[in-house]
Amino acid sequence: MADQSIAGAAGIMATASEGDRSGRARIVILFLCLGLVLVVLLSLTSGASDASAVGVVHDWLVGAAPGNEMLNARDRLIVYDIRLPRVILGVLIGAALAVSGAVMQGLFRNPLADPGLIGVSAGSSLGAVAVIVLGATVLAPFTSALGTLALPLAAFCGGLATTLVLYQVATRHGRTSVATMLLAGIALAALAMALTGILIFMADDRQLRDLTFWQLGSLAGATWQKIGSVGPIIVLALAAMPFLARGLNALALGEATAGHLGIPVQRLKYTAIVGVSAAVGASVAVSGGIGFVGIVVPHLLRLAIGPDNRYLLPASALLGACLLLLADAVARTIVAPAELPIGIVTAIAGAPFFLWILLRKRGVVDL
Amino acid sequence: MIEARDVSVAIGGKRIVANVDFDMRPGEVAAIVGPNGSGKTTFLRALSGDLAYSGQIAINGRDLAAMKPVEAATVRAVLPQATTLSFPFTVREIVRLGLVGGRSGVLPGEDEHLPERALSRVDLDGFAGRFYQELSGGEQQRVQLARVLCQVWAPVLDGKPRYLFLDEPVSSLDIKHQLIIMGIARDFARRGGGVVAILHDLNLTAMYADRIFVMHRGRLAANGSPQDVLSDDLIEKVFGCRLKVGALPQGNMPFVLPQSAA
């Protein structure tokens, strides 16, 4: 018996790493951390204004250069009050969208679930538009009581309601039908957009212009105040997600089996739904509809490090932040001095990618 | 000790299991047999805590209805008939999920090596790095069994027996692996655990089970040792075909029984 276990242990030593991708995942996460630092620095030092902002970042990292204070004051303003909030917001929203996508895919047990595709973002938009258009009239008590939190909160409620309805419709006896999920998502998005349309119809000219640009998705107009209102929501939601990782892994085997493994499945599902709705709602509230981050990022990472959510979720947060900052850099510079809404950039890059996933999975994913 | 009293399960207003009494002691392999649609799987799902039921179910004296998922996960592991995945997990990653909620019962630090040991037991040495979705049905079934074994690796934990609930564990396996898997169940019981298995092969059942529970139209038709239960009359009544227990084939027709395994 003892001999057997020693022999067994020796055999195990040789094969311990086979099929275990956690080492590779850790390395990828390390590289993504470095990548994010680089992209953040790149974003801080590039833009429509001249390049002397490099000096500010340089000062910031290694200390102020003497005799340069006047120049630095203006540049500092550009970096601290315009670029830095925009970069922080980009990081938060990129991470929130990518992690929400990954969590939703785990929850629905399907790689095609994405808050943008299945109507969650549309529901959030409806909530946000309602506050923008009706904030001064019908919803005045709501907006005055909550101040800057009113917008993200309304977007959260819209997203939450959509996700709950979607889950009820698409899941029967613990099995989620992808076809039902996507079609129900289309129906819910259409309904949300129709209601949004009614609100837009009621909006005045100034609101109309705001809404149009907001709906296309943009990080422009990022302020410290906006970060103050949605930052805590996103950070809180992101901080809760790692606790779902093990449960979401077990859920890949089906709801019943996850329960057999000791996972409190109902609690897991509702935490995931509330977390995703909060993250997506907060993102939509400040930046409008930025699509495809939630589907492209987790998919790329699954190819690299596998579907283990313990690594997939943090890696998604990092890669989502990187990609959104890069997309924002493209949006800011490609038609400079004007600016393209970032939602257009992510859709132009993301939609063909989504089609590519579908082509690859044709015949493999059972719709 | 598993005690079920007067258990009934209704799904969508239709009664699938009616007034079933079920008892088993640690050290036993209990087989549930019966025709398709007789309520075997539904009863096992009630025993696993998946379905609402009326009546009483107690595992080791604890009321199942009052158990939290993680408590239940430490006293029993469940093998479903088939498991499909929509993400590209490796075999090792799947087996490791067995350790997610319960307690394997091995020494601290040995958990990391348990997936390889479990895979070795189900004759899947060298499969750890393969993708689950690329395996055959029988191989997938054995990967799932390895996962289940990880969850309750020690048949007895803290002096209390633990249980394997297996829903058709050998249905998609070749004869060699049927014998290996049933041997694992037998061994788990010998070391103080308990096994509840839904089986279709009556020869395999007679060979490995201590006790057979025969289900028919949602009710318990008979239970007892293989010698007591497997009779011509019962088989005709339950399965609706006239078969003779112990009759040899005519002439030189070959037949292969698991009992002949060396």
* Digit-coded pLDDT (tens) for A260-306: 999 998 889 889 888 998 899 889 888 887 888 999 999 999 999 99
Contact A250 B100 (CB under 8 A): yes
* B2-83+159-246+255-260 CATH fold: Rossmann fold (3.40.50)
* Digit-coded pLDDT (tens) for B57-94: 999 999 999 999 999 999 999 999 988 888 999 999 99
Is it the case that residue A4 has pLDDT exceeding 50? no
B134 touches chain A (CB under 8 A): no
- For testing contact with chain B, the best of A261, A268, A303, A313 (most B CBs within 10 A): A261
Distance from the Cα of B87 to chain A's closest Cα (Å) equals 6
Position A84 in a domain: no
Question: What average pLDDT does this structure show over A68-96?
Answer: 81
In this prediction, residue B111 has a pLDDT band, given cuts at 50, 70 and 90, of confident
The pLDDT value recorded for residue A58 is: 67
Position A348 in a domain: yes
Is it the case that residue B142 has pLDDT exceeding 90? yes
B48, amino acid identity: S
* Complex ipTM: 0.93
Task: Determine contact, residues B209/B29, Cβ cutoff 8 Å.
Answer: yes
Chain A residue at shortest CA distance from B69: A262
Distance from the Cα of B174 to chain A's closest Cα (Å) equals 24
| DSSP characters over A129-177 | HHHHHHTTTTTHHHHHHHGGGHHHHHHHHHHHHHHHHHHHHHEETTEE-
The pLDDT value recorded for residue A353 is: 86
Using a CB-CB cut-off of 8 Å, the residues of chain A touching B78 are 256-257, 260
Residue of higher predicted confidence among B114 and A82: B114
Is it the case that residue B135 has pLDDT exceeding 70? yes
C-alpha torsion A149→A155→A161→A164, nearest 10: -100
The pLDDT value recorded for residue A11 is: 42
Using a CB-CB cut-off of 8 Å, the residues of chain A touching B76 are 260
Is it the case that residue A67 has pLDDT exceeding 60? no
Provide the CB-side half-sphere exposure for B117 (13 A, CA): 20
Question: What average pLDDT does this structure show over A68-75?
Answer: 64
Picking from A16, A110, A252, the nearest residue to B89 by CB comes out as A252
The pLDDT value recorded for residue A239 is: 93
The pLDDT value recorded for residue B184 is: 97
For residues B11 and B52, what is the distance between their CA atoms, to the nearest angstrom?
9
The pLDDT value recorded for residue B8 is: 96
Using a CB-CB cut-off of 8 Å, the residues of chain B touching A263 are 69, 100-101
Position A63 in a domain: no
Picking from B86, B97, B128, the nearest residue to A261 by CB comes out as B97
- Domain span at A298: 89-361
For residues A80 and A77, what is the distance between their CA atoms, to the nearest angstrom?
5
Six-digit token string for B177? 């692996």
Question: What average pLDDT does this structure show over A345-362?
Answer: 83
The pLDDT value recorded for residue A176 is: 65
* Digit-coded pLDDT (tens) for A220-256: 778 888 888 889 989 999 999 889 999 999 999 988 9
* Digit-coded pLDDT (tens) for A5-15: 444 444 444 44
Question: What average pLDDT does this structure show over A331-352?
Answer: 85
Contact B93 A259 (CB under 8 A): no
Task: Determine contact, residues A125/A264, Cβ cutoff 8 Å.
Answer: no
Contact B83 A257 (CB under 8 A): yes
Picking from B87, B98, B130, the nearest residue to A252 by CB comes out as B87
Task: Determine contact, residues B55/B8, Cβ cutoff 8 Å.
Answer: yes
Chain A residue at shortest CA distance from B84: A253
Sorted by where each begins, the domain ranges of chain B are 2-83+159-246+255-260
Position A46 in a domain: no
Question: What average pLDDT does this structure show over A52-81?
Answer: 66
Chain B residue at shortest CA distance from A299: B87
Picking from B78, B87, B120, the nearest residue to A260 by CB comes out as B78
The pLDDT value recorded for residue A61 is: 65
Chain B 58-77, CB below 8 Å of chain A: which residues? 68-70, 72-74, 76-77
* Digit-coded pLDDT (tens) for A107-143: 888 888 888 778 888 898 899 888 888 887 887 887 7
Contact B113 A111 (CB under 8 A): no
Contact B89 A307 (CB under 8 A): yes
* Digit-coded pLDDT (tens) for B213-247: 999 999 999 999 999 999 999 999 999 999 999 89
The pLDDT value recorded for residue A5 is: 45
* Digit-coded pLDDT (tens) for A143-199: 788 877 788 888 888 988 998 898 888 877 666 666 787 788 889 999 998 999 899
Contact B69 A8 (CB under 8 A): no
In this prediction, residue A365 has a pLDDT band, given cuts at 50, 70 and 90, of very low
Task: Determine contact, residues B213/B33, Cβ cutoff 8 Å.
Answer: yes
Residue of higher predicted confidence among A345 and A149: A345
User: The domain that contains A261 carries what CATH number?
Assistant: 1.10.3470.10
B255 touches chain A (CB under 8 A): no
Q: How many CB pairs under 8 A join A and B?
A: 109
**How many domains is chain A built from?**
1
What's the DSSP call for residue B131?
B
In this prediction, residue B207 has a pLDDT band, given cuts at 50, 70 and 90, of very high
Dihedral of CA B198/B204/B210/B216: which sign?
A: positive
CB within 8 A of A117, min separation 6: which ones?
A182, A185, A291, A295, A354
Residue of higher predicted confidence among B121 and A339: B121
Contact B97 A260 (CB under 8 A): no
Percent above pLDDT 70 for chain A: 84
Using a CB-CB cut-off of 8 Å, the residues of chain B touching A111 are 86-87
B78 touches chain A (CB under 8 A): yes
Chain A residue at shortest CA distance from B125: A15
Is it the case that residue B189 has pLDDT exceeding 50? yes
Chain A residue at shortest CA distance from B71: A262
A21, amino acid identity: R
Average pLDDT value for chain A: 83
pTM of the model: 0.87
Using a CB-CB cut-off of 8 Å, the residues of chain B touching A109 are 86-87
